[in-house]
Amino acid sequence: MPEQERLATLTRILRDLLGDDTIELTMRTTRQDVPDWDSFCYVNFIVAVEAEFRIKFRIADIESFSTVGTIVKAIDTEQTR
Amino acid sequence: MLFNSYIFIFGFLPVTLGGFYVLGSRRREWALLWLAAASLLFYAWWRPLNVLLIAPSILINYGISRFLERNAQPRPGLARVALVAGIVFNLCFLGYFKYLTFGEQALNDLFGTSFILTQVVLPLGISFITFQKIAFLLDVHAGRVTHFTFREYALFVLFFPQLIAGPIVHYREMMPQFKAVSCRFDAENMSVGLTLFFFGLAKKLILADPLSSMVGTPYDQAASGVPPTIINAWIAALGFTLQIYFDFSGYCDMALGLARFFGIKLPVNFNSPLKARSIIDFWSRWHVTLTRFLTAYLYVPMTLAMTRRRMASGKPIRSARDMGASAFITVLAMPTILTMLVSGVWHGAGYTFLLWGLLHGVLLCINHAWRLIRPRIWRNTASYNRRVAPIAFLLTFISVVFAMAMFRAPSVGTAVVLWKGMIGGYGATLPQAILSRLGPIAGWLQALGVQPAWTSGSLLLTATARILVLLFIALALPNTLELLAAYEPAIGIKPAKAPGFLLGLTVWQPNRAWAVGLAGIALAGVLSLGGLHEFIYWQF
């Protein structure tokens, strides 16, 4: 699946979680860029992404995702594993 | 050795720094070794015995991390056992020194037992050192740290600018810096370091320390059964909030400055927390590296496990809008409150700290609940944030001040007495000297129930003025990170894209005006030396 499609999926998940339809994620977005994207919402987001793509991240990775882009790449790695 | 002592500023620091630069011009390894040795001396200064306590812990941790490094890949099961053993060892080490007495007391209180309370001398900075070591073990186990030597490990553990009271740093953010640092004199590092150091010294000595007697009296009175009237209660609560604010802010600035002398940048630890517009926001600004530690190693794993379990049992949280009460309790409230309870007792072994943690846990839950409910009521996030900002700020501020009273009070009872005073439970008084000068307003005030009192009017006025000035500094002025943003005062700090008017005027530049101003601040700070008030955070 191309990058853009994944970004769109992640954007939809986060919009649902935060109830904010103006959110637009890019590969460079960080958590600080999105208002109210706190640790709790982040965990919900991660689990929703795991369910959507039928993968499971390693806990050490979850902490070190610095941008949305690193999450998109991690989805690739996990799916090919 | 206190950062705010003559021996540190005029003895230890120049000698350590001079030696570092001289050795650095010959061989970098010598300079780094010198820095580690000086740090050990710094730690040993109060009680050389402390070194005998902390050294075995360092060695054992080093051994375990070596073992983890070698076995994490080939034998994951064994590595896991070693990791757990290492964490348990560190927690027991901390537990013995910090919690034995409180544990015995709690057992006595709960079951009426009569354990004799053991008095154990707390090795300095043990809570910070322990957390940092646990983080290191977890990082090695997760493969985030590879290839380290004993010398590097020792320098990481002992680096004196952050040894006693943080910031709690990660190996992966420090070691690349130690490996790259030139170990020579550098004008930019020196001037940025001096600015941070003297700003911190002035905050500590000129802004925070004079508050300690003003704050101490009402707390002592409340503890000895004198109920505080509303004004005194607020002076006590606000005064302590500002005292710990400038004390810790000053410490963090000094730590950043000291590290910078050696060419090292520390992570952000304190970022104008009283400007926060929610409790969640407050914790991303106050003691940032502790929040980071607890979030990464406690909160996220717990929440993740709970959320995954819910997901697996077919009750996914697709959106905030359909989160029920049971999900809220298991997935959000439990991990949040547990984490904050740990944060509470980490600060100190006592019921007040436990309750302070609980209070913040509950406040965080309310904050999260509102974040879930609010989009249903007020769809547009941007307009909500703009309109509600003043109320959000005020609610957060008042919550923090109330909670701080529990943090400072010598007992839970005293804190409750103080709270009652703050909401007017013990009436309101004004000094007669002030009332008699108010003219017709005095009549209205007395009609509202304000009683005259034979207390000092000038003391009250000085206290009020002091609090107002400090609030102005904390809430309206740009902080040191913002002033120095162009020179990356802490890891990752970048200049604001559109600096405000005040910041634009005051932004730090290596020019004559700043040199003169800074010299003034440094002089004022150094002339205030000698009181030797410990940093509040050094006792944790």
Interface probe with A: pick from B172, B292, B302, B303, most Cβ of A within 10 Å: B303
Contact B368 A17 (CB under 8 A): no
Answer whether residue B162 is part of any domain. yes
Q: Which domain holds residue B187?
A: 6-195
Looking at beta carbons, which residues of chain B come within 8 Å of A60? 142-144
Answer whether residue A28 is part of any domain. yes
Could you write out the DSSP letters of every residue in B252-288?
HHHHHHHHHHTT--PPP-B--GGG-SSHHHHHTTBSH
Does residue B122 contact residue B98 with C-beta atoms inside 8 Å?
Answer: yes
Contact A51 B307 (CB under 8 A): no
Q: Which two tokens stand for residue B268?
A: 């952000």
* Residue listed under structure tokens 């050490």: A60
In the predicted structure, residue A68 carries a pLDDT above the cut 70: yes
Answer whether residue B171 is part of any domain. yes
Dist. CA B180–CA B16, nearest whole Å: 19
| Burial of B313 (C-beta count, 10 Å sphere; 0-12/13-18/19+) | exposed
Dist. CA B13–CA B39, nearest whole Å: 11
Answer whether residue A55 is part of any domain. yes
* Residue listed under structure tokens 């910041």: B503
Nearest Cα to Cα of residue B131 among B255, B248, B291, B256: B291
Of B311, B332, B375, the CB nearest to A47: B311
Phi, psi of B452 (to 5 degrees): -75, 145
Condensed to tens digits (0 to 9), the pLDDT of residues B18-76 reads 999 999 999 989 999 999 999 999 999 888 888 888 888 899 999 999 999 888 888 88
Nearest Cα to Cα of residue B181 among B260, B258, B252, B253: B260
Dist. CA B285–CA B291, nearest whole Å: 9
Does residue B259 contact residue B483 with C-beta atoms inside 8 Å?
Answer: no
Answer whether residue B22 is part of any domain. yes
Does residue B205 contact residue B529 with C-beta atoms inside 8 Å?
Answer: yes
Does residue B424 contact residue B230 with C-beta atoms inside 8 Å?
Answer: yes
DSSP-assigned letter for residue A35: T
Condensed to tens digits (0 to 9), the pLDDT of residues B384-426 reads 888 999 999 999 999 999 999 999 999 999 999 999 999 988 8
Q: Which two tokens stand for residue B147?
A: 């290839």
User: Taking CA B140 as the corner, what is the angle to CA A63 and CA B136, rounded to the nearest 5 degrees?
Assistant: 80
Answer whether residue A81 is part of any domain. no
Identity at B229, one-letter amino acid code: T
Least confident interval from B66-70, B248-252, B502-506 = B502-506
Dist. CA B40–CA B24, nearest whole Å: 19
Could you write out the DSSP letters of every residue in B134-145?
HHHHHHHHTTSS
Contact A19 B296 (CB under 8 A): no
Interface of B with A in 365-394 (CB under 8 A): 368, 371, 375-376, 379, 381-382, 385
In the predicted structure, residue B454 carries a pLDDT above the cut 90: no
CATH code for the domain in which residue A36 is found:
1.10.1200.10
Q: Which domain holds residue A65?
A: 3-76
Answer whether residue A47 is part of any domain. yes
Phi, psi of B428 (to 5 degrees): -125, 140
Answer whether residue B150 is part of any domain. yes
Answer whether residue B210 is part of any domain. no
Does residue B479 contact residue B268 with C-beta atoms inside 8 Å?
Answer: no
Dist. CA A37–CA A59, nearest whole Å: 19
Could you write out the DSSP letters of every residue in B48-115?
THHHHHHHHHHHHHHHHHHHHHHHTTT-HHHHHHHHHHHHHHHHHHHHHHHHHHHHHHHHHHHH---P
Element (H, E) at B343: helix B334-347
Does residue B203 contact residue B253 with C-beta atoms inside 8 Å?
Answer: yes
Condensed to tens digits (0 to 9), the pLDDT of residues B187-199 reads 999 999 999 999 9
pLDDT of residue B194: 95
Contact A38 B311 (CB under 8 A): no
State the pLDDT confidence band at B320, using cuts at 50, 70 and 90.
low
The number of folded domains in chain A is 1
Answer whether residue A44 is part of any domain. yes
Looking at beta carbons, which residues of chain A come within 8 Å of B308? 47, 50
Which of the following is catalytic: B287, B347, B360, B368?
B347
pLDDT top residue among B512 and A81? B512
